Amino acid sequence: MSTLVIVESPTKARTIRNFLPSTYRVEASMGHVRDLPSSAEEIPEAVKGEKWAQLGVNVEADFEPLYVIPKDKKKIVKELKDALKEATELILATDEDREGESISWHLLQILKPKVPIKRMVFHEITREAIRDALTHCRDIDNRVVQAQETRRILDRLVGYTLSPLLWKKIAWGLSAGRVQSVAVRLLVRRERERRAFRQGSYWDLKALLEKGKISFDAKLVTVGNVKVANGSDFDENTGQIIAGRRVLLLNEEQARALLSRIQNKPWTVTNLEERPVTRKPSPPFTTSTLQQEANRKLRLGARETMRIAQSLYERGFITYMRTDSVHLSEQAIAAARTCVQELYGSEYLSPQPRKYTTKSKGAQEAHEAIRPAGSTFRTPQQTGLDGIDFRLYDLIWKRTVASQMADSRQTHVTVLTQVEDAGFRSSGKRIDFPGFLRAYVEGSDDPNAALEDQEVILPALKVGDKPNCKDLEAVGHETQPPARYTEASLVKMLESEGVGRPSTYASIIGTIVDRGYAKLIANALIPTFTAFAVTTLLETHFPDLVDTGFTSRMEQTLDEIATGEAKWLPYLQKFYTGDSGLATQVKEQESQIDAKVARTVVLENLSAKVCIGKFGAYLESESEEGLVKASIPQDLTPADLDPEKVDFLLKQKTEGPEKLGLHPETGEPIYVLIGSYGPYVQLGDVSETNKKPKRASLPKGTDKDSVTLDMAVSLLTLPRLLGAHPETGAKVQANLGMYGPYVVHDQGKVGKDYRSIKPPDDVLTIELDRALELLAQPKAARGRNSKAATPLKELGAHPESGEPINVYDGRYGPYVKHGDINASLSKDESVENFTLQRALELLATKEAAGGKTSSKSKKSTKTAAKSETATEKTAAKKTTAKKTETAAKKTTAKKTATATATKKKTK
């Protein structure tokens, strides 16, 4: 007797095999084995001529989905069918969330087993959990499957109905999504607030006081019993004090006059207040709080966090990582309390076990929080993990253990001092008992260091004491615009608004960045001009679809479908068909949307229009000579585009670039210009005989106004030939690149070896000896993970070039690399089963589509109309309009789609 167990991933399969008898065979489905067609070539011949086929959903037949087996899954399906022939029992052991339930259902439809079937679920991969799950198998939950299918259909309807409209009205390759578009709107609204922001300035005084050889700070808060204005008193839209506020606004002159008046006057303590404060630990991690904290502490993006967490789960280190629940099992509570007892002592243990409950109505993914796996918790040092795997496990371990620790007891101290009519305030904090802070401080990597930072000790003071003033200074302040969203704060906002589900946030943020709607710079998500144009169109013509309240109600309905409280078909019919349905709205609005208006971004206080073009955003302005167009640099954000920058870009276009002077050797003029990729210097004019003058980018952080003639001449010498490498004879150069200054050992076909140049070394002065020292150092990995430079898998040599082809772990997932060509693996492709032949196919496709691209992916302009869900594949090949019909026919003429549609299950 043999049993076939099917899970999603090879890693999960390997771990589970260790816990099952030899009669059990464990295989991986590699994620979903069926999906809606992602391109014209996947549509079966039998329905290719149907109007709805491109949509992948037959809206005229009760929204029946057209499921196909993707080409890259046919081999896997065959292997699973072969394995099933030898089995006497089938156990479907995919994840316990909606996607996992759906994968099991699809496997059932494809494999059509004639042997007994069981559905096994577990939230951690340990021997005890797997053995226990085997004795508590159940049937597939069709309501959960229906909820997932409804969500999938809904996302397809939104994406494939709205996206073609964006292609026609704004730019090819854009996409809309049920949650994606709402998230983009949040970014755009924040950027609009930053543009509308008006800075205010104010002054106050800061004193350094001393009592008993202990120094402490004091800040001016009142003058003549009137509150001194601070940043919270300003109106962000005017830069002035909010109407009705009775505060004293000090300017620099008044602040310095006050300082002079009280400089040598006596100080007196007028009031002292001590207030006890008790802090409780945070609950264990859910998916969203883990993403937020990993972003704050480890600087990990949401997708990176989920990829690492998935790996930890599949290897048996943590429990299931897609969960809305903060609940801990009795076993987990006991394990955490044991850790506290052994590592910190009984005084740090909470008097009673802490039990957390989930407040969110929509919580449905898994029944327990993310925690270390097992009935006893391995400390981070006991796991054998290293690098970022260790750090994320350490974060989860600390948060879980801290949740069962005693409260932190603190005393907050406020001291008021008076000097003449000026009142000052000092704030202190005394930690009477650290409690859970010994193990975990939210937002801090080192709890011990954080305790020291949190504690602000004031000297023993009493009313009437007269501290000495050691220093007194006038300090100027300027109010700051609203902070841009980080991945952490966007996830927090989406969750608080009830938009999307935590398990989808990583893919949503990744989609926004991949598609060019936002740039991730210094951990901030900055919307692009394209995001402004798309958001404005949707706000104007489809306001419900980008309204957080409307989207939140959709989520609630989808949750109710999973519990049987709502019916899926009436909901889809109301949403898509009928007089007010999405399909009708798009038909009605299409004729009312002027493409020129849609491509124009309205930004106040600018003399020119901002337009979206084929190659990005540009300025458009009427002048005496006619219409003037000027490209907007890619690093210039909407909030930072001010009248001064607009005037410079237009002037550069109409009057020519700013001339620094003449080159001392050639006599040619040297100009400073701003291009699509930022400021640069140029030697000579563009002419018939000199179509591509020599150019050099300015070093990062260098303002164009600070560039001198000598600096420009030096920059134009780049790349500098430093000499020959003593071992190879190959040239060694110094140059500037997109990641900053570097030296390179160029051995031609053998390859190039790069090292970054860091201060105090300078790209313009570095010599050969120093360059050789840098090249002799181990190569540092780019990014956060020190393992990033090491291939995940070496596939072999390219059959033509002989250069290696490897798979690497990039910021946005695994990618295959050959020379300068990078190609991302699809979501359903695993590194373990990735072959050289498959790599050659991906690389050839990428090269044909446009050559060099980074793993970060520039496919945003080549892909479109895919839903923001994690299961949606690229829809760039989708042909819903006649304009794309020719390209699709070329594809389908070469390849015959062999996937067949299967009938939908009984509703």
C-alpha to C-alpha distance for 510 and 301, rounded to whole angstroms: 9
Residues 6+ apart with CB under 8 A from 284: 326, 328, 356, 369, 370, 371, 399, 400, 403
Q: Chain centroid to CA 398: how far? A: 24
Residues 6+ apart with CB under 8 A from 487: 291, 295, 301, 302, 509, 520, 523, 525
Residue 520: count of CB within 10 angstroms of its CB: 16
C-alpha to C-alpha distance for 536 and 596, rounded to whole angstroms: 13
Gyration radius of the chain's alpha carbons: 31
Which residue in 254, 251, 265 sits closest to 421, CA to CA? 265
3-class DSSP assignment, residue 676 = coil
Residue 136: count of CB within 10 angstroms of its CB: 10
Torsion over CA: 678, 680, 685, 690 (sign)? negative
DSSP 71: G
Phi, psi of 14 (to 5 degrees): -60, -40
Residues 6+ apart with CB under 8 A from 484: 187, 190, 191, 194, 524, 525, 526
> Before 799, cis peptide (omega within 30)?
no
Pairing label, strands 616-623, 609-613: antiparallel
Residue 157: count of CB within 10 angstroms of its CB: 23
Two structure tokens written together for 550: 């409307």
626 half-sphere exposure, CB direction, 13 A CA radius: 1
Distance (Å) of CA 386 to CA 285, 325, 392: 21, 28, 10
Residues 6+ apart with CB under 8 A from 263: 472
Torsion over CA: 82, 86, 88, 91 (sign)? negative
Residue 468: count of CB within 10 angstroms of its CB: 11
Phi, psi of 365 (to 5 degrees): -70, -55
Q: Chain centroid to CA 468: how far? A: 50
Catalytic annotation present for 356 = no
Distance (Å) of CA 310 to CA 318, 389, 721, 874: 9, 11, 47, 23
Asked if residue 79 lies in contact with residue 73, where contact means CB atoms within 8 angstroms, the answer is: no
What is the total residue count of the chain? 907
From 320, 393, 440, 671, active-site residue: 320
* H-state helical runs in 542-683: 548-563, 568-576, 582-590, 595-598, 643-654
DSSP 370: B
Q: In what order do the strands lie in the sheet with 24-28?
A: 24-28, 3-7, 89-92, 117-119
Rounded to 10 degrees, the C-alpha dihedral 432/438/443/449 comes to: 80
3-class DSSP assignment, residue 804 = strand
> Before 719, cis peptide (omega within 30)?
yes
Phi, psi of 102 (to 5 degrees): -65, -40
C-alpha to C-alpha distance for 240 and 236, rounded to whole angstroms: 8
Catalytic residues, which ones? 320
